Structure 1
Amino acid sequence: MSEIIKTDAVVLNKLNYGDTSKIAHLFTRDFGKMSVIVKGARSPKSKIGMIVDTMNIIQVIIYKKETRDIQLISAADLLKHFPIIKEDFEKMKYATAVIELLVQLTAELDPHPKLYDGTVRIFELINSPEKNPKFYFAKYFLFFIKEIGYQFPTTHCSVCNKELTADMQVNYNYDTGIMCEVCGKDRMSHFRFTKELFNLLQCLSTKNNNIKYSDRELDTLIMLLEKFLKYNIDEFKGLRSLKIF
């Protein structure tokens, strides 16, 4: 069975195919991750080939057939692009890490409109000249983990369910989760939060963006979240873009 579908999409990446075409991987709002072929995309005269470019937000019309793995794009319109990201080394680093998460940890044809909308929003924020891309990536990372079903605990002790505050000694164990000081005494801790770091973690998980922080604290939290995913998802090998850039 085949159908013509219309949806918005983030272009995750693309590669050459044959003499004139390209294959692109999209994260669509209505159908999740999808591989598509753009025929003639390598021609200098191909408008659609220019539009279907990595990190662009596009609206596409696709001939979708259930029996094939790669679908066919028939038309595309550009909705958003992010020139500031592509001209800034630091912004590009974290935008690429967003794409890595989507490529590695989302399933084919598994719709997730909330995650799609959050991804578009994070690109808009990173693209703003005055925004710190590392801060907003850390915020997106927590959001992403929650949306794929592996929520990192930030509010209550995983053992006794006591509410946690920034003035407590908070510990973390990969098996047990976040623990208050009392529960942490009887269990091995893989990580101990400073008060400042735990306060930052709690703020990142809310809409509060008015907090003082250091780059080192953000690096520490991003590293912890990356290790959390590695521990819980065997096939996740980490974010190469955070090491290469």
Structure 2
Amino acid sequence: MIVKTRAVILRETKYRDQSKICSVYTREFGKISVIIKGARNPKNKLSGLFSAGNVVDLVLYKKNSRDIQLVSDGNLILSPMVPAPDLDRFAILYRIIDLVKHTAERDEKNLSLFTLLAGTLEELYHDGINFQELYAWFLLRFISLLGFQPSLRFCVFSGKELLPAIDSMKLTELYFVMNPGGLALPGAAGENLAKKHLIPLRLAMLLSALAAKRTPSGDSIKADPDDIDILWNILQEYCALHLEHARPGKNLAIVSQILLK
């Protein structure tokens, strides 16, 4: 049957003389493989559409019995080449799409994940974006979608609401605990053997501010670049730990390399 869907190109592979096979993440079908005949011929109207990171509208000849679906038409919606190529943008782009490529299940629709992926790329392709902040925001939303949303309002050990406790105890630091995930009061953490990082209060507040944002726009959160970098590393470690449990059948070595490189 002929179907239409929006898709993010995750990977492109040359096939025979002029064609391509691509791994794409679609709104309606999740992650699938498609073939685009003649896509490497400059005269083909689909030439240039199927590059990693592009967001496209596709028309497919789809058969459930077929592992690779045939693309009959397509239109470009978003591209990392617009407004202009940027090495920092591409570095973040490839981290994002590689993470989705290696963790998403094949033929498993997940509209929330598609919306997050496409929305993040739309932000990434704008001018004036803080790429590191956007990536930290993406990691937080991504791991939360998989069921590992860190607790940022209540202490993960005592259950106490954090803001009143911080005020009454005059705290300047909190723990970020890897498992169970979230923030913890220093007294409640005690001698608990769970892996944790002691972080300044401003970093905990930055994490909460990121979690509250629907999408960060430009430098929407004023933060020290070093703080964003620390937060980025903590979230990458957190994601790597929980993906190990969430995706036991996946190539975890590759996922860890993506997250921790």
Q: What letter is aligned with 1:147?
A: L
Matched, 1:177 2:177: no
Measure, in 2, the Cα distance between the counterparts of 1:118 and 1:231: 21
Shift of 1:18: 1.7
Question: What amino acid is aligned across from residue 205 of structure 2 in structure 1?
Answer: N
Q: Distance in 1 between matches of 2:126 and 2:197?
A: 33
Residue identity matched to 1:203: A
Structure-2 separation of matches of 1:240 and 1:90: 16
How many residues get paired?
241
Cα-Cα RMSD? 2.2
Contact 2:239 2:259 in 1 (8 A): no
Counterpart selection for 2:157 from 159, 165, 169: 159
How far, CA to CA, are the matches of 2:23 and 2:123 in structure 1? 23
Instruction: Say whether the 8 Å CA contact 2:141–2:211 is kept in structure 1.
Output: yes
- Name the CA shift for 1:27/1:85 in 2 (closer, same or farther; >3 Å): farther
- TM-score w.r.t. length of structure 2: 0.84
Of 190, 196, 203, 1:190 maps to 196
Tell me: CA distance 1:116–1:33, structure 2 relative to 1, closer, same or farther (3 Å).
same
Whole-Å Cα distance in 1 between the matches of residues 260 and 135 of structure 2?
Answer: 11
Paired amino acid for 2:223: Y
Query: Contact 1:52/1:76 (CA < 8 Å) preserved in 2?
Result: no
Residue 124 of structure 1 and its aligned partner are, at CA, apart by 2.2
Shift in Å, 1:138: 0.9
- Asked if structure 1 preserves the Cα contact closer than 8 Å seen for 2:178 and 2:238, the reply is yes
Distance 2:146 2:71 in 1: 28
Aligned to 1:226: 236
Q: 207, 211, 216: which is aligned to 2:213?
A: 207
Q: TM-score, normalised by structure 1?
A: 0.89
Q: 1:241 to 1:158 in 2, by over 3 A?
A: closer
Question: What residue is the counterpart of 1:108 in the other structure?
Answer: 106
CA distance in 2, matches of 1:211, 1:7: 34
Corresponding residue of 2:50: 52
Distance, in Å, in 2 between the alignment partners of 1:76 and 1:151 is 36
Contact 1:4–1:64 (CA<8 Å) still a contact in 2?
yes
